[in-house]
Amino acid sequence: MSSHTVIETFAGAGGLALGLEEAGLHTTLLIENDSDCVATLRLNRPDWNVISEDIQSVDLAGYKADVVSGGFPCQAFSHAGKKLGFEDTRGTMFFEYARCVKEVKPKICLAENVEGLVRHDKGRTLRTILRVLESFGYILQYEVLNAINYSVPQKRKRLFIVGTRDGIHFGFPPTCMYALTLRDALQGVPQSEGAKYSKKKKDVLSLVPPGGSWVDLPPEVQKEYMGKSYYSGGGRRGMARRLSWDEPCLTLTTSPFQKFTERCHPSETRPFTVREYARIQTFPDSWKFVGSLGSRYRQIGNAVPVRLARAVGESIVKSLEGKYVSFF
């Protein structure tokens, strides 16, 4: 068992924690408020210490760990006339993540979020986050990583923020030489439950070739299926989208059949099943998900791809073991 320990906030269904575990880190505490996610974590890792509470009610004073991690929900911050400090983030979930970092005082803090956080409020939100963590004594780096570059068969960009104590050096993981495709991902995937299309939607999507979308439909079908969207500008390419076996998957959403982010199976006219979703997010087949069908899709769709988390985790282990050298 690794001597490097992690406390994770907003643990979800365990994608980040599992990846960090595979990298050699030992999770000592996870905090998660969603009952289905908690049940998933406890089913797969009965030895994990999972606190099933609202993080706002969890007192972390006295806990110690080498790493504090978490993908806090992104909420808008108010900046007008504020100093952009720790207290100015109160009322946001970032405040709770930051409070955990402040109380635990880890050697490294790791935060994960949507790519759009870089641009949110013209960059002010991210600057606030960095300023708060810097005020605790951390040296911050951030980078948007695309999961496709880390042995994940999916185009999925996520923002990672890493803070290190003085004397600890960190470098983001190197990218892979090649990308995995859906064919690589779904070979031998176990059968499982999955959502189904309505007859009307199935009739439409059956006309779309692999790798195609609404532009491949007959004009009269386009107009009927797309409604007002047919006359709008950009942002429509995801409609009636069928994926290709020979390309990576597009970013999975929390539902397999959202109209504007369609993810139709390459050769069958249906959404991906639960286990196919999990494969694309690089969860092992042994990792089970608890809850309704919709809840399981949501848990998987919200997760950090396991192999992406592992790659970041391996860099964190190198940092903790002094394998990075600073040239500055």
Tell me the backbone φ, ψ of residue 154, rounded to 5 degrees: -155, 135
Distances (CA, A) of 45 to 3, 14, 50, 198, 276: 18, 10, 9, 37, 22
CB 146 within 8 A of CB 155: yes
DSSP 22-86: HTT-EEEEEE---HHHHHHHHHH-TTS-EE-S-GGG---TT---SEEEE-PPP-PPP-TT---SG
Q: Is 322 helix (H, G, I), strand (E, B) or coil?
A: coil
CB 241 within 8 A of CB 272: no
Q: Is 198 helix (H, G, I), strand (E, B) or coil?
A: coil
CB 84 within 8 A of CB 76: no
Q: Which CATH architecture has domain 182-302?
A: Alpha-Beta Complex (3.90)
The dihedral built from the CA positions of residue 97, 284, 152 and 201, taken in this order, carries a sign that is negative
pLDDT in tens, the chain (328 residues): 468 999 999 999 999 999 999 999 999 999 999 999 999 999 999 999 999 999 999 999 889 999 999 999 876 666 554 666 777 777 789 999 999 999 999 999 999 999 988 988 888 889 999 999 999 999 999 999 999 999 999 999 999 999 999 899 999 999 988 899 999 999 999 999 999 999 999 999 999 999 999 899 999 898 888 888 887 766 577 788 999 999 999 999 999 888 788 899 999 999 999 999 999 999 999 999 999 999 999 999 999 999 999 999 999 999 999 886 554 4
**Residues 86, 98: Cα–Cα separation, whole Å:** 8
Record the pTM. 0.93
Distances (CA, A) of 323 to 189, 215, 280: 37, 51, 31
Q: Which of 10, 72, 17, 9 is nearest to 48 (CA)?
A: 17
Cα 282 to chain centroid distance, Å, stands at 12
Domain positions in the chain are: 5-174+304-320, 182-302
CATH number 3.30.420.40 is the correct assignment for the domain at 5-174+304-320 = no
Residues catalogued as catalytic: 74
- Please tell me the predicted confidence (pLDDT) of residue 79: 57
Report the C-alpha dihedral over residues 113, 193, 275, 144, rounded to 10 degrees.
-20
What residues have CB less than 8 Å from 96, skipping those under 6 apart?
9, 55, 56, 72
CB 193 within 8 A of CB 135: no
Phi-psi region of 140 (alpha: psi -120 to 50; beta: other; left: phi over 0): beta
